[in-house]
Structure 1
Amino acid sequence: MVMGLVMAISLCVLLIDESPSQIRGWSARDFHYIKAPDYFWATLPLIHPPNFIRPLPNTNPVSYPNVQFHFTQETRDARIVREERQRAVKEVFTRCWSAYKQHAWLSDELAPVSGNRKNPFGGWAATLVDSLDTLWIMDMRGAEFDEAVTAAATIDFTLTDMGEINVFETNIRYLGGFLAAFDLSGDIRLLRKAVEVGEMLYHAFDTPNHMPVTRWDIHGAMRGEPQVAGTPLLAEIGSFTVEFTRLSQLTGNPKWFDASQRIMDQMAAQQNSTALPGLWPLAVDAGGMVFNSGSTFTLGAMADSAYEYLPKMSALIGGQLDIYQKMYEQAIEAALTHNLFRPMTPTNEDILIAGQVRMRSNGDSVISQLEPQGQHLVCFLGGLVALASKLFNRYDDMTIATKLVDGCVWTYKVFPHGIMPETFLMKPCASNDNCRWDDASWEEEVEAMAEANNEDATPDEIIAQRRLPRGFTAIPDKRYILRPEAIESVFVLYRTTGREDLVESAWDMFQAINRSTATQLANSAVLDITLPSDQMPPPSDSMESFWMGETLKYLYLIFSEPERISLDEFVFNTEAHPLRRLKG
């Protein structure tokens, strides 16, 4: 009965009628709250309305240093090469976009081998929404962009076949996607959709302590059933600030900023009382508002964007709240001491990998134990450290950023297909300053790793069977799922330092990825990139929306003129959606 009522409700008659041309030049402070009086999520009463809503900060923004490198005028020959590469990336995007339109329009994802469609993110056209700003950035701003926006305007966020919604993914893909496309184009239809998503997500915060339910029974919420926050992963609860704050800036309604800031206040208060002060454990208790209990600490999967958003929030709000810089600096200092390691490599590369730390009892004390596991996902970290190095004048950190990005580029190069796997393990150097390759030491580590997994084989047999490049001791996950993080950090480090060799690395990475993942329709995640170079990695028939929303976007921007989406004007959310910064 409720669903029938919802279907009958007019989606959203927003009380604003400015044209895109009128909107485009306005500042964030010029917008008044856009109301949605007939929209279900806007009219559904809150069970636990907040006693107060804190306003957006209104102090003068900080005048941060320029983030982008001062690029000199390129030569004619360099421009020709750059534009050829840019066109090559755009051709891949256009091919994938056309396949999505033909086979999976308004579904979340195209299955790029079978041509089927998938709906893992609510069935609200995740690929379409994730690609809106990419269309604009790639100058597909005429009929293609308008058709996409017109289709996006029909998405109904009161209808889904899913029993449980991932609130984090909905926030970064849908809310972030609509906000960024609006920030770029000024098309008011996109801000209307952002408000619709924001109103829906706000109800996930309708709990007694105003902490969100991150794996959300959306239908129960629609029926007005009580909700209680659970035990989410760190990234799931710590990654609302950028999107929620931008929505509040654009609408003038501070409720979203207030909702996300309540989380950050708790995280800040407990940051230095964890088992590894400065970092938060991988899982937290949102219901009990406990953010300092746990023994596993990582900047990788399931925690990543909670750290990523600290300096990015500083940039977004123009440094009006110093809490974010303080939280970042405490976190990065802890990570530098405990999580980052130099791996032993046959070419003695001076690189860094970000691993995972487990705290364990040792008599009367607690000690940290490094698990030297690298992840493709944690490759975002080098770019983040580079961004924060510029923003916060942490000059020495640019060396750390460089070693992290070079580590990801090196890992791409040493695998047979020129692509990094999802996860891998390496032998840490005893010292970051003096680390020489030792065959015997590597083989001992390979054998120890195998023994820990109850494998009975010689090191040579394990290396051959597991197809381990020299320096790697195990590869638990051999897939490449079209991830963007390594490309992302290459982009950010290039824009902040101007290192030309990074452009060449990005071109090599693009060619390797497209060569190994292209299907008859589009591009597919692949199952094993450790196979010999003359054997194609088998596809998994999956093309997540971040392929077109992130990976290809970052590649295109690497081969674009530096002024296109300048890091001095925009900050990217964790789904690569550029949002306008408040400037001092």
Structure 2
Amino acid sequence: MAFSIPRNVPSFTNPQRQSEDAYWASSGSIHKPAGVQNRIGGIFRSAASDLPLYKDKPYYSSSSSTYGYRRRRWDMFLRKRVAVGALVFIVVLYWWFRPTETEPSDQIPISLGSDKKKDSSWFSSDSKKADKKWLDRRERVKDAFMLSWDAYSTYAWGFDEFHPVTRTGTQMTPKGLGWIIVDAIDTMMIMGLHQPLAHAREWVQTALSYDQDQEVNTFETTIRMLGGLLSAHYLATTHKLDPGSKQDPDLYLDKAADLADRLLGAYNSPSGIPFASVNLKTGKGVESHADGGASSTAEAATLQLEMKYLSKLMGEQVYWQKAEKAIRVMDENHPTDGLVPIFIYATTGKFRGSEIRLGSRGDSYYEYLLKQHLQTGEPLYAEMYQESMAGVKKHLVHKSYPSKFTFIAELPMGVGTNVSPKMDHLVCFMPGNILLGVTNGTTVAEAKRSPAWGKREDEDLQLAKELMRSCYEMYNVTKTGLAPEIAFFNMDESGNQDIIIKSQDAHNLQRPETVESLFLMWRMTGDEIYREWGWKIFKAFMKHSAVEGGGFTSLNSVLNDPPTQRDNMESFWLAETLKYFYLLFSPNDLLPLTDVVFNTEAHPLPRFDPKPLFKTGWSRAKKIERTTIKKIKVEDQEGPELKDHDPEGRSHGMEVKGKHEESH
């Protein structure tokens, strides 16, 4: 159905908006260094353990910025507003941590000049106490975004990476890619943050260039940069959420098309599986510098939403066809029960090893099977998704002891071998994804009225709820109330601790997956427990990851209270985690799930009818043939396929971390 502009989006012509802009322009909410950066120093400064955000890019240190004029402009504000900024920061934190049970029903925290009038203009129904509470909490998420954004704008504007503790920025390429800025643009549109959005748009228009002789990771650049630009175009043109774009309505699309044309070279492999990296200037694809040259299966299979939408916008089939072929090549490997190994060679199109997991390097393969179907209605991908989910339930779903938490295990040596009770935080996208596959974005109540609802749908609903509880417990069992990067679930009936966290896995990277699932579970079930869990997690982030002077950072260990801080703000903190918190606390008519599909970086893209120009360009092998091949593969599990398997693959050869990689 057509997407109408939600009633609760911000009005950029409202006089309140001018007050909001003036408030943040003058508040100076970030103040000068006060020594906190010296607490951590350079402990996490090596490329191997910290930066940049993805693995295949050489590390560059940037001691100077080409954007000094912007920093000087902000410094003028800082020199005048230091005291006011410190006061605002303290007051905002006070409002975050005050007991919610005793909040007066008509009181709103200090946040971007909010008042009752603005609250009611955002909300589409009568003011009720419950509604008021969640709108109040949503405003605090916006505050957190602005504290993060102001710190970045002040100390690292134009840089790809931001280190809030030391108040410095670094680049991922000599000229920078606009990593943080582009990733956060659609969040500002959704939150109605007019002034910082204008600042970001100006940078994209005047400073962003992808004409750089530099290798970049194909996947990360697609989901963050291409996805961010396409989402910005969608929200700006279809929903008018960027009034400044009227002067140049094709700005975001032009940048996206230029970037996509440069990324196309990654698909020019002998097999059609995209190379892990590509040179932006030459268009030459580059094999992975680790993992024996194999690409990550998740990364090669998580490019399709962006490229298909670009084909729709441009009327060009090449983007669609190049990205689509990768899925066909993987499927023609005939994975057992729809479960794919986590590495695949771009040169041959064959999987490397047999390791199966829904965490790092495997996760979003399954996510995009479903979301391709939701985006374009192609039934082939629904079939593949359901086959894979049946394999997940058959081989990977297990219970812990003594509480019988449901979790998704790993198969380090492949299907038919012993399981590992390890579950990455990345796997916590699954509860929401499973339920999305049940309802297709409608509510559970609506979906149950459909004749298509049956036993499988009941089972998947229950599985989604159980997995969501387990992901919440990964937060609930730590001293900080924040989840580790990796958890192990106890499968020993004599054990008395369900969740075990090892010290090397206890870091927190501000990841969004649990919040994403809470948002989806809330939207589809209407059970307010998911909002309450989200609010508890949000408060834990505010308490432990806030940096003195402004901004938020990743943490070294969630097992210590207080935790030590890592001095790095991930771009997905702005693009995903805070966006999903904001949507979790928003009315449901803001970006309805029946009208949009979120890419794996939380960039909303529209659902669309691909006809008449586009259609699925391949068909699957007959089911009887696929079954025969599956049996052969299981019997040959000890064969040559395992020679390349690296049992330590989760950490071996990783120069730096990416969205679908673990960090140790």
Change (3 A) 1:227 1:546: closer
| Equivalent runs, 1:80-119 vs 2, <5 Å | 80-119=132-171
Tell me what 2:429 maps to.
380
Closer, same or farther in 2 for the Cα pair 1:199/1:84, shift >3 Å? same
Q: Is the 8 A contact 1:442 1:473 kept in 2?
A: no
Which residue among 195, 208, 212 is the counterpart of 1:159? 212
Separation in 1 of the partners of 2:380 and 2:124?
36
Hey, what's the Cα distance between the residues in 2 that align with 1:353 and 1:120?
Answer: 36
1:200 to 259, 262, 287: 262
1:325 aligns with 2:377: no
Distance in 2, Cα, partners of 1:412 & 1:492 = 18
Structure 2 distance, partners of 1:398, 1:171, is 31
Look up the match of 1:494.
522
Q: How far apart are the structure 2 equivalents of 1:301 and 1:245?
A: 24
TM-fit CA distance, 1:422:
0.5
User: 1:126 Cα shift?
Assistant: 0.9
CA drift of 1:227 comes to 6.2
Secondary structure, aligned partner of 1:494: helix
Residues 265 and 285 in structure 2, CA contact (< 8 A), matched pair in contact too? no
Where do residues 406-445 of structure 1 align in structure 2 (5 Å cutoff)? 406-428=469-491, 441-442=494-495
Structure 2 match to 1:298: 357
Superposed displacement of residue 143, structure 1: 3.2
Match of 1:216, SS state, is strand
Partner AA of 1:189 in structure 2: L
Q: What are the superposed Cα offsets for residues 188-217 of structure 1, whole Å, 9 maximum, x if unpaired?
A: 211111111111111222334443221234
Aligned residue runs from structure 1 range 25-424, under 5 A: 76-120=128-172, 123-140=176-193, 142-153=194-205, 154-159=207-212, 162=214, 164-186=215-237, 187-218=249-280, 221=282, 230-270=293-333, 273-274=334-335, 276-291=336-351, 294-317=353-376, 319=377, 321-345=378-402, 348=403, 350-359=404-413, 367-391=416-440, 394-396=456-458, 397-424=460-487
User: Does the 8 A contact of 1:412 with 1:420 survive in 2?
Assistant: yes
Kindly indicate whether the alpha-carbon contact (under 8 Å) linking 1:206 and 1:227 is maintained by their aligned counterparts in 2.
Answer: no
CA contact 2:422–2:486 (8 Å) conserved in 1: yes
1:415, distance to aligned residue in structure 2 (A):
1.0
What is the TM-score with the length of structure 1 in the denominator?
A: 0.74
1:152 Cα offset (Å): 1.3
Deviations 1:507-556 (A, max 9, x none): 0000011111000220000001111xxx3110010101000000000000
What amino acid sits opposite 2:484 in the alignment?
Answer: P
Distance 1:402 1:72 in 2: 29
Matched, 1:536 2:562: yes
Task: Determine the C-alpha separation between the residues in 2 that align with 1:286 and 1:88.
Answer: 45
The whole-number CA distance in structure 2 between the counterparts of 1:579 and 1:226 is 27
8 Å CA contact 1:121–1:170 kept in 2: the answer is no
Aligned counterparts, 1:425-574, within 5 A: 425-428=488-491, 441-442=494-495, 471-472=499-500, 474=502, 476-520=504-548, 521-531=550-560, 535-574=561-600
**Structure 1 position 228, deviation (Å):** 6.9
Task: Tell me the distance in 1 between the aligned counterparts of 2:581 and 2:156.
Answer: 24
- Judge conservation of contact 1:121–1:166 (CA < 8 Å) in 2: no
Q: Which amino acid aligns with 1:214?
A: A
Would the aligned equivalents of 1:121 and 1:169 in 2 still touch at CA under 8 Å?
no
Q: Which residue does the alignment assign to 2:10?
A: none
* C-alpha separation in 1, matches of 2:363 and 2:312: 25
Instruction: Indicate how the Cα distance of structure 1 residues 352 and 72 shifts in structure 2: closer, same or farther if over 3 A, else same.
Output: farther
The Cα offsets for residues 465-503 of structure 1, whole Å up to 9 and x where unpaired, read as: xxxx66427454110011001100000111111111111
User: Any idea what SS the aligned residue of 1:380 has?
Assistant: helix
- Secondary structure (helix, strand or coil) at the match of 1:353 reads strand
Q: 1:269 to 1:138 in 2, by over 3 A?
A: same
Whole-angstrom CA distance in 1 between matches of 2:126 and 2:464:
25
CA contact (8 A) 2:307 2:319 kept: yes
Q: Post-superposition shift, 1:109?
A: 1.9
Question: Matched residues in 2 for 1:243 and 1:513: separation?
Answer: 30
Quickly say closer, same or farther: Cα 1:395–1:72, change in 2 above 3 A. farther
Contact 1:179 1:194 in 2 (8 A): yes
Q: Give the Cα–Cα distance (whole angstroms) in 2 for the partners of residues 227 and 313 of structure 1.
A: 26
Counterpart position of 1:463: none
Amino acid of the residue matched to residue 198 of structure 1? A
Identical counterparts, % of pairs: 30
Question: Are the equivalent residues in 2 in contact too, given 1:210–1:259 (CA < 8 A)?
Answer: yes
User: 2:341 is aligned with what amino acid?
Assistant: P
Q: How far did 1:231 drift?
A: 1.4
User: What secondary structure, in the 3-state scheme, does the structure 2 residue paired with 1:195 have?
Assistant: helix
SS in 2 for 1:110: strand
**In the aligned structure 2, how far is the partner of 1:526 from the partner of 1:148?**
27
1:235 CA displacement: 1.2
> Which consecutive residues of structure 1, in runs of 5 or more, have no partner in the other structure?
1-70, 361-365, 430-437, 444-468
Matched position secondary structure for 1:357: coil
Give how far 1:416 is off: 0.9
Shift of 1:184: 0.7
Instruction: Report the TM-score, using the length of structure 2 for normalisation.
Output: 0.66
Amino acid corresponding to residue 586 of structure 2 in structure 1: S
**Partner Cα separation in structure 2 for residue 175 and residue 411 of structure 1:** 32
Say if 2:263 and 2:280, in contact at 8 Å, map to a contact too: no
Alpha-carbon distance between aligned partners in 1 of 2:422 and 2:287, rounded to the nearest angstrom? 34
CA contact (8 A) 1:487 1:506 kept: yes
* Match in the other structure for 1:458: none
Which piece of structure 1 moves more, 129-138 or 115-124?
Answer: 115-124
Cα pair distance change 1:333/1:201, threshold 3 Å: same
Distance 2:431 2:380 in 1: 22
| TM-superposition CA deviations, 1:34-57 (whole Å, max 9, x none) | xxxxxxxxxxxxxxxxxxxxxxxx
For the 8 Å contact 1:307–1:328, the answer to whether it is kept is yes
**Per-residue deviation, 1:146:** 2.4
Q: Distance in 1 between matches of 2:604 and 2:184?
A: 12
C-alpha displacement of 1:413: 1.1
CA contact (8 A) 1:442 1:471 kept: no
1:523 & 1:93 partners in 2: Cα distance? Answer: 9
Say if 1:147 and 1:296 are closer, same or farther in 2 by CA, change over 3 A.
same
Alignment CA distance shift 1:120-1:353 (3 Å): farther
- Paired with 1:284 and 1:126, the residues of 2 have a C-alpha distance of 27
Distance 1:423 1:545, change over 3 A: same
Shift of 1:251: 1.1
Q: Which amino acid aligns with 2:189?
A: W
* Alpha-carbon distance in 1 for matches of 2:467, 2:609: 29
Number of residue pairs matched by the alignment: 456
Give 5+ residue unaligned stretches, structure 2. Answer: 1-122, 238-248, 441-451, 611-664
Query: Partner of 2:434: helix, strand, or coil?
Result: helix
SS in 1 for 2:418: strand
Deviation at 1:368, TM superposition (A): 2.1
Whole-Å Cα distance in 2 between the matches of residues 575 and 284 of structure 1? 22
